[in-house]
Chains A and B, each alone.
Chain A
Amino acid sequence: MVTRGFSSGRRPPTDDDARIPPGQYLEQGFPVLSAGPTPRVGTQDWSFTLKHGPRPIKKWNWAEFNALPQTKMTRDIHCVTAWTKFDTSWQGVLVDDILADAGLEPPTGFTLAHAFDGYTTNVPVKDLTAGKALVALLYEGKPITPDHGGPARLLVPHLYFWKSAKWLNGLQFTTRDEPGFWELRGYHIYGDPWREQRYTDDP
């Protein structure tokens, strides 16, 4: 349905339409969104725990985690609130390298990412492995600020950005695909921006 009087002339300019998923617009800044106050997590209090169901597999402190192999990743990111940001650059530990350090083959097909503020989000294993996702420790070469999820956040850039949990403190393998915080509150179970999977009933 064409909206009377609306034209694409106000659209924020982009030199590469093919990089913008349907319904998104190009954002130059880096907006901050979260469901609660920003937790202040000091690196001395930070830890990351890998779990299979309720059972802890391995736990790293900040120094141990930073000693794991680090990978740089520059990707476009897409927020469900409709902004897309090009070429965000991150550095951190690939989920593949976390599993390798734990000596673990994925025991199930699904995970829940956990955060210090109680936030959770579900991501299938196939979307985390084979170099697709990392636990980011640096943004543009510097420690990630608290409002963007520091000390560490998940980065799953090919899914809507609510999947890239801020203030990450663990990854839990689950038997079933268990919906997380926003997935229980109306948002899509998978969240592919190219299929515009924003809300629960999107195909």
Chain B
Amino acid sequence: MSDAAAVQSPWQVARIVRIEKRTPRVTSFFLQPSRPFAYRAGQHVDVRLTAPDGYQARRSYSIASAPESGGVIELAIEKLDDGEVSPFFHEVAAIGDEIELRGPLGGHFVWPEDGNGPLVLVGGGSGVVPLMSMVRHRAARNSSVPVVLVFSARVWDEVIFRDELITLDDRQDGFDLVLTLTREAARRPADYSRRVDVAMMAQAMARLPEPPGLAFVCGSNAFVSAAAQALIDAGVAAENIRTERYGI
């Protein structure tokens, strides 16, 4: 593979300039780094919180915004009830607060710049976040690379970026959105209401003019395992599947 080494950067202070609730469990925090940086769609940043007693907690969050969106980066953070960082963002963080962050990070789960043919993106829940950066990047540069996004959520109201994704889908410019709801009936004619499986992957890929060059899969470990296996069973070579797992 030919990924360029990621360019590193030290910790820096970023200011929260906007907060937008996306779904009942996911809120976007827009951060303005004091030293803006270039990044590739799919990369993440590390965030560090420091308590008065010196204790520090750090977590990685994928960037949802497109590299073209200027100096402000969007992190869409899901609240994990037993977490220590995501509840801080959801319950405490306010516009004007300063947070330490470091990035961009990650050199594998990134939009390929050198033309790898059509792409299949598969996201489960907040696993859609780095894929959203890719979809927005494609739109921002008016790319003609065919892309199909299969996005699995539990219910319609938990489809993060729903209106924006449907608007992009309606442009019919080579981006296709496939939604699948695991706990609710499908709302759009060609969508699904079940967990991702090989038939769904085959049908999604049939929307592309030619077989995909790469597939990107992001979500929980169980979701990524199932989706990656479904892609393999639908004919995608394992070495062309890049995954990012929350770990759990």
The residues of A with any CB-CB pair to B shorter than 8 Å are 1-8, 10-12, 22-23, 25, 29, 31-39, 79, 81-83, 117-118, 147, 181-182, 184-186, 199-201
Contact = CB atoms under 8 A, between A and B. Distances in A.
Nearest to B109: A35
Contacts of A4: 92, 97-98
Contacts of B114: none
Contacts of A35: 108-109, 242-243
B146 interface: no
A21 to B, nearest CB: 12
Contacts of B6: 185-186, 199-200
B245 A34 contact: yes
Interface string B44-77: 0000111111011111100000000000000000
B161 interface: no
Nearest to A7: B51
Contact of B84 (A22, A25, A34): A25
A132 B56 CA distance: 29
Contact of B247 (A36, A37, A81, A117): A81
Interface in B184-239: 221, 225, 228-229, 231-232, 238-239
Given A3-B51, A7-B51, A25-B84, A36 B10 contact: no
B243 A34 contact: yes
**Chain A at the B interface: mostly helix, strand, loop or mixed?**
loop
A37 B217 CA distance: 9
A201 B8 contact: yes
Interface stretch (B25-33, B99-107, B149-157, B168-176): B99-107
Contacts of B139: none
14 contacts: A1-B98, A5-B92, A7-B53, A23-B48, A33-B245, A34-B245, A36-B243, A37-B229, A39-B238, A182-B108, A186-B6, A186-B8, A186-B105, A200-B5
A185 B108 contact: yes
Nearest to A79: B247
A186 B248 CA distance: 23
**Chain B at the A interface: mostly helix, strand, loop or mixed?**
mixed
B106 A36 contact: no
B20 interface: no
Contact of A185 (B59, B100, B106): B106
A36 B84 contact: no
Nearest 4 CB-CB pairings of A with B: A31-B247, A186-B6, A185-B107, A8-B55
Interface of B: 3, 5-6, 8-10, 13, 48-53, 55-60, 83-84, 87-88, 92-93, 97-100, 102, 105-109, 221, 225, 228-229, 231-232, 238-239, 241-243, 245-248
B202 to A, nearest CB: 17
A2 B8 contact: no
Given A3-B50, A6-B51, A25-B57, A37 B245 contact: no
A11 B55 CA distance: 9
Contacts of B5: 184-186, 200
Nearest to A35: B108
B57 A1 contact: no
Nearest to A6: B49
Contact of A37 (B83, B105, B228): B228
Contacts of B242: 35-36
Contacts of A6: 49-51, 57, 88, 92
A153 B108 CA distance: 22
A200 B8 contact: yes
Contacts of A22: 56
A82 B56 contact: no
A170 to B, nearest CB: 18
Contacts of B247: 31-33, 79, 81, 83
A37 B243 contact: yes
B84 A37 contact: no
